Structure 1
Amino acid sequence: MSHPGIPSFNETNSAEMVAQRLLKARAGPLPRFLATVVDHLHQIVRETRPTASEWREAIAFLTEVGHASDEKRQEWVLLSDLLGVTALVEDINSRRPKGATPNTGRGPFYRPDAPRLPLGANLSLDGAGTPLVVSGLVTDLDGLPIAGATVETWQANSQGFYENQQPDLQPEFNLRGVFTTDEEGRFHYRTVKPAGYRVPDDGPVGHMLSRLNYPLNRPAHLHFLIRAENFETLTTQLFERGDPRLGEDALFGVKPELVGDFNRVSGKDPESWALDFTFVMVMARKGSRAA
């Protein structure tokens, strides 16, 4: 028995019917966001036309991701990272004018309690690795130096592990530090060359993408978080020119403006390297992330 005025759910109107129910709610922007997600999800189903069995397999994968996530491991974040969604959200929310240093994701290994150190300090507390001297200049878009900027930095060691991944093998706060730029907007410190690494692949996300031969490696990089009064906070990473993995960064963090030259220091024995890089910040605008 049909009921006049009651629409019949079908392939053509499926997303619209769900959206109508969502948009009846008056709960801020969430209903409209979900309606957009539903629209795209239904479009994917219409285009790919999975069987019921294939859809149950997809649901089983998402269930595995949920079961693998806890306070110590976030498989959902890993999935977002590896599918480029995290990088896309960051790009949308941190548009910078031409000439400014671009933002990248902070990553999961940041610690907000790293020690404040004097310029020239050595971040390598265990001395393991090839020495690297890092020098930096922080300026505005006009090239004027920014004195008194706070520069936080952290990195993996020469085996590709962060200190908080190996609390029993590395000294606490190894390869981490906070510096303040001098009157000329400069900072410098000693460390070791970081190594690239493979993102966690022992969970459902890694297993699934490994079967597809999907790139799961990160090139070697250094993290920076720079704050200065009246400027937008800059969170970024620096990569070594010539690293063979630059074009396949698993987290899509590599941008041409973030590739630097790691130069061999001549006459040094043992081997030593140096990196000098200029970070360009932009003035804070209304609604932007200021320091």
Structure 2
Amino acid sequence: MIIDGEAAVTPAVLEAMAASPDARVKDVTAALVRHLHAFIREVRPTEAEWEYGVEFLCRIGQTNTATHNEGVLFSDSIGISTLVCLLNNGNEGSTETAAALLGPFWRDNSPPTENGGSIVRGPTPGPKLFASCQVLAGGKPVAGARVDAWHSSPEGVYENQDPNMAPMNLRGQFITDAEGRFRFTSVKPAGYPVPTHGPVGDLLRAQLRHPFRPAHLHFLILKEGFKTLVTQVFVDDDEHLESDVVFGVTQALVGGYQLGQGPAPDGSEGEWWSLDYTFHLEPGEARLPTPPIA
């Protein structure tokens, strides 16, 4: 098709892609073109602005490394990751536990840990945390489920960010008991800023947005016959609950952290916290995600 004006561009592109034999590819790419072309017509970028936009996207790819995924961070920072997550999981939290972002720091080889054991694997100063959780489906316990738990340190960094931290610190893999329960001891996590050295940092600064995530624990629950649940449970009193930079906080996931009174359950002294939380699975496919970074 010879283009005779701006109005002819969109139909020409859609016509050129229409022969795709894959119906899903055809539908998705056509919708993408329609919406992107509508965006261009609404915003009417200058050529210089469009060149900057293309450069911005290129920089996202160029900033990726074996230990940092800028593409995931960009998707997170504009709410796309959370939107996709909520559209695909848990009936938006009305019946099952709401899903949340996997995040970039999950590992598929967290150490197997006995039920009730500690996931603190090296010196990690901070108030102790005693977590007691249960996994249910349709109101019944789910026994034999694999549960990965991991979180940041009280300084706000993950084990695979900090070369000085003990390997696999603050990570553990559990198997639920006959009542669907698992327990562990750790330290209370802290909130932290997302990386801002790349184009996402430039975007946040341009929008006068802070880069912080509220403190949370990560969980991945895997059991055949059920959809793998990836979620986070947020600390109730964190100052950034209502302004999470990746829009990942839903009300159902603000979860029951309580300041302990008296000696800790293990008999130790000092400040300690407890968390009691129940996870609800939905029927579906059990599969493990691909770790976002090495």
Asked if these proteins are the same fold (TM beyond 0.5), I'd say yes
Q: Deviations over 1:102-150 (max 9, x none)?
A: 1112111001011111111111122421100000011112x22222222
Give 2:104's aligned residue.
108
Which of the residues 95, 102, 106 maps onto 1:99? 95
State which of 118, 135, 138 in structure 1 corresponds to 2:135: 138
Q: In structure 1, the residue corresponding to 2:189 is in which secondary structure?
A: coil
Give 1:98's aligned amino acid: S
The 8 Å contact of residues 191 and 238 in structure 2, kept in 1 or not, is answered as no
Q: For 1:27-46, list aligned pairs within 5 A.
A: 27=22, 29-46=24-41
Whether the aligned pair in 2 keeps the contact of 1:103 and 1:234 (CA below 8 Å) is: yes
Q: Could you tell which deviates more after superposition, 191-200 or 31-40?
A: 31-40
CA distance in structure 1 between the partners assigned to 2:69 and 2:226 by the alignment: 31
On the 8 A contact 1:9/1:17 being kept in 2, the answer is no
Tell me the SS of whatever aligns to 1:157.
Answer: coil
1:204 paired with 2:199, answer yes
Question: Structure 1's 9 and 157: CA in aligned 2 closer, same or farther, altered over 3 A?
Answer: farther
CA change 1:9–1:254 in 2 (3 A) is farther
Q: Does 1:157 align with 2:153?
A: yes
Aligned residue in 1 for 2:250? 255
1:52-80: CA deviations, max 9, x gaps?
A: 22222222222322322243332222111
* Gaps in structure 2 of 5+ consecutive residues: 264-268, 289-294
Amino acid at match of 1:282: E
- Deviation larger for 50-59 or 231-240: 50-59
Query: How far is the alpha carbon of 1:213 from its aligned partner?
Result: 0.9
One-letter amino acid of the structure 2 residue matched with residue 87 of structure 1: T
How many residue pairs match? The answer is: 281
Structure 1 segment 4-19 matched on structure 2, within 5 A: 8-19=3-14
Which one has a bigger Cα radius of gyration?
1
Of residues 64-73 and 42-51 in structure 1, the stretch that sits farther from structure 2 once superposed is 64-73
Distance 1:131 1:7 in 2: 69
Matches within 5 A, 1:122-271: 122-125=118-121, 126-141=123-138, 143-166=139-162, 168-268=163-263, 269-271=269-271
Query: Separation in 2 of the partners of 1:170 and 1:270?
Result: 23
- 2:274 is paired with a residue of what secondary structure? strand
Contact conserved, 1:22 with 1:32, CA < 8 A, in 2? Answer: no
Q: Which moved more, 1:209-218 or 1:107-116?
A: 209-218
- Contact conserved, 1:16 with 1:39, CA < 8 A, in 2? no
Determine the structure 1 residue equivalent to 2:277.
277
Q: CA RMSD in A?
A: 1.8
3-state secondary structure, aligned to 1:277: strand
Deviation string, structure 1 residues 10-34 (Cα, Å, up to 9, x no partner) = 2323212111111223355324322
Which SS does the other structure have where 1:13 is aligned? helix
Q: What is aligned with 1:3?
A: none
Within 2, Cα distance between the matches of 1:289 and 1:118? 23
Identity %: 37
The residue type paired with residue 53 of structure 1 is: A
Question: Which runs of 5 or more residues in structure 1 are unaligned?
Answer: 1-5
Measured at CA, do residues 290 and 173 of structure 1 come closer, stay the same or move farther in structure 2, by a change above 3 Å? closer
Q: Aligned to 1:163, what secondary structure does the other structure show?
A: coil
TM-score (norm 2): 0.89
Farther-moved stretch of structure 1 (23-32 vs 80-89)? 23-32
Contact 2:148 2:220 in 1 (8 A): yes
Distance, in Å, in 1 between the alignment partners of 2:281 and 2:24 is 31
Deviation at 1:229, TM superposition (A): 3.0
